Structure 1
Amino acid sequence: MRKLLPILFLFIVVCFLSCTSKDKQVAENIKTYSNTWDGIINAGKLELINDTHFDERITLLMNPENIVGIKNVQDFYANYLTGFTNIEFTIVDIFGQGDKIVKHWNFKGTHSGDFFGIPATGKSVDIDGVTLVAMKNGKITQEQDFLDNMAFMQQLGVLSNPNNIATIDTLYKAFAAGDIPAVLASMDPKVVWHEAEGNAYADGNPYKGPEAVSNGVFARIGKDYDYFNLAQIQLYEMAGNQILATLRYQAKSKKNGTVIDAQVAHHWFLKNGKVIGFQQYVDTKQLAKAVNK
């Protein structure tokens, strides 16, 4: 038994040193990795993508085709540095095991330049993602990013929010129910509203803010008409978070009893699920007959 004790002690020492060595290597990998990407993205030092920090066969796992090699990886990330200003790249959390690293990151910036062929939109983005990393001999050898690309494109203004049609549909249903507070609640505090030129209500164009729309448009509709219905509503999704609505106004004037059945189009502009702009197109001749004594 006594002969086994030195062997057991040696075994424990070897295991301890081995674990300590592995922990130290993970810590060094994380430090190298974090400092490298902070310099590349936040400091704009694209030249840090070199054979000092990256394996010469660095591979970005992509679909449908991987990006391989230092020069190709440089070209890929150049799109971010030329496409965005006001960049803030933050590593929210990072940990590793062996030669593997997992990174949770956040990217903020203003789309002010060409980004993979997408012209500048001036939109701000704020996107989270996760990267799986493989290290080799202290260098970055493989990366695979996971992020919500649809949300990213929506923030750029390239794709529209899929909930926009539902937002406008809910707004029309609230108007039909006479729930004007709900209609106003769907609007951004800085909404800009335009009535059609030639419409009597266009005298306040542009109405800015929900209260102005309520007082300048909705209150006057209630005063001028016995009923004012929206019929045959059709909604069409457009690029850039815009919705086109075609419909008809069916109403009866309180002033002279005129009944109208007018063809109408509404052009809606949305951002983050709220209406930020509105443009009306309507047969203003019929509306003029209804409001004249």
Structure 2
Amino acid sequence: MSEASDIIKAHYAASDRGDLDGMVEAFADDVEWTEMAGFPYAGTYVGVPAIREGVFGRLGGEWKDFTATAEEIIDGDEGRVVALGHYAGTFAATGKSMRVRFVHVWRVRDGKVVRFEQFTDTLLVRASME
């Protein structure tokens, strides 16, 4: 495994522990984080503060026991890493649970995460919110 895949594994391990600081530890200052169109938090967030507030803060505040579990990490070339896994959680406002597959595409450069892009079934996520 490469340094890039080790960095991404560390991100998911921090997520499993509920360690937000650990999750963003290797993020570049100008990291770009893209949530898929149709996802409740869709858009591209630039910089750690925007990601903390616009993505992680909302997930933590609106969902009970939200998890993003990476089941497979695929080590690519030139700092590309792909994670296959699933989201799970219960939307607090409705009490409805979901479990949805995801693909996360990461880009690491010089030991820092510079880009993230999410692919998931947004309809299944939104169904748990209604």
TM-score range, shorter chain: over 0.9
CA distance in 2, matches of 1:164, 1:273: 7
Q: Distance in 1 between matches of 2:10 and 2:69?
A: 14
Deviation at 1:208, TM superposition (A): 0.4
Cα deviation per residue 1:197-255 (whole Å; 9 max; x = unaligned)?
Answer: 100101xx210001100000000001111111223521001122100000011111101
Aligned to 1:272: 110
* CA deviation string 1:152-204 (max 9, x = no partner): xxxxxxxxx921111100110001101001111220001011001100101xx
Paired amino acid for 1:234: E
- On the 8 A contact 1:224/1:291 being kept in 2, the answer is no
- Which residue of structure 1 aligns with residue 13 of structure 2? 173
Partner of 1:134: none
In 1, the alpha carbon distance for the partners of 2:126 and 2:13 equals: 26
* Amino acid in structure 2 at the alignment position of 1:279: E
Give the structure-1-normalised TM-score.
0.43
Which has the greater radius of gyration?
1
Task: Measure the CA separation in 2 of the matches of 1:223 and 1:285.
Answer: 21
Match for residue 101 of structure 2?
263
Per-residue CA deviations over 1:249-286 (Å, capped at 9, x if unaligned) read: 11111011111110100000111111000000011011
Question: How many pairs were matched up?
Answer: 130
2:90 aligns with one of 240, 248, 252 = 252
Q: How does 1:1-293 map to 2 (within 5 A)?
A: 162-202=2-42, 205-231=43-69, 233-292=71-130
Question: Considering only aligned residues, what root-mean-square deviation do their CA atoms show, in Å?
Answer: 1.3
Measured in 1, the distance between the counterparts of 2:84 and 2:34 equals 16
Q: Percent identity?
A: 25
Q: Which has the higher contact order (CA 8 A, sep 6+)?
A: 2
Structure 2, unaligned runs of 5 or more: none
Structure 1 counterpart of 2:40, which letter? A
Structure 2 residue matching 1:287: 3-state secondary structure: helix
TM-score after normalising by structure 2? 0.95
Match for 1:200: what amino acid?
A: P
Give the Cα–Cα distance (whole angstroms) in 1 for the partners of residues 109 and 129 of structure 2.
34
The gaps in structure 1 that reach 5 residues or longer are 1-160
Q: How far apart, in 2, do the equivalents of 1:174 and 1:233 lie?
A: 15
Give deviations 1:103-149, integer Å, cap 9, x for gaps: xxxxxxxxxxxxxxxxxxxxxxxxxxxxxxxxxxxxxxxxxxxxxxx
Distance 2:22 2:70 in 1: 21
Query: Greater helix share, 1 or 2?
Result: 1
